[in-house]
Amino acid sequence: MHVDAQQHHYGFVMTEPAISREDGERRCGWCRHPLPEAKPTGRPRRYCSQACRQWDYVTRRGERDVRITEEQLVLARSQVDALHDAVYVLACAVSDTDRDLAALGARPSVKDLREILDWLVENARPLAGLRLHPD
């Protein structure tokens, strides 16, 4: 990760929020959820919550004594990013499907329904095949 001198604050380095490839939207530095619009004054947010800020801090510090309960799972950032990307694609496909069905009206043809279903399945397939593995 590239860090410049302006990122140093109170003795530690904060990670930069990710920028979405699709629309340039700012995302949380930990979970990659979209961040709200920045206020005109003050620093822009880097995290969506205090929990994300804390987990990013713990990760960056490389602490080995973090207690993980049986209900928690540690995943690689790349796996979380892949999951978010696949869910985003599926959400867009569902939105497109809703729009297409509304445009077809009350009596769509079998051919139209088949095309819509094929489109939805094609976009759901990456999510169906995604497997998360703890690190």
pTM of this structure: 0.51
- Asked if residue 30 belongs to a domain, the reply is yes
106 compared with 7, residue with greater pLDDT = 106
Q: What are phi and psi of 75, to 5 degrees?
A: -120, 150
**pLDDT(132) > 60:** yes
Q: Provide the percentage of residues in the chain whose pLDDT is more than 70.
A: 74
Whether residue 93 is found in the same domain as residue 120:
yes
Range of the domain at 28: 1-66
Q: What is the C-alpha to C-alpha distance for residues 83 and 91, in angstroms, rounded to an integer? A: 12
Q: What is the C-alpha to C-alpha distance for residues 106 and 35, in angstroms, rounded to an integer? A: 38
Whether residue 103 is found in the same domain as residue 55:
no
Q: What is the DSSP letter of 12?
A: E
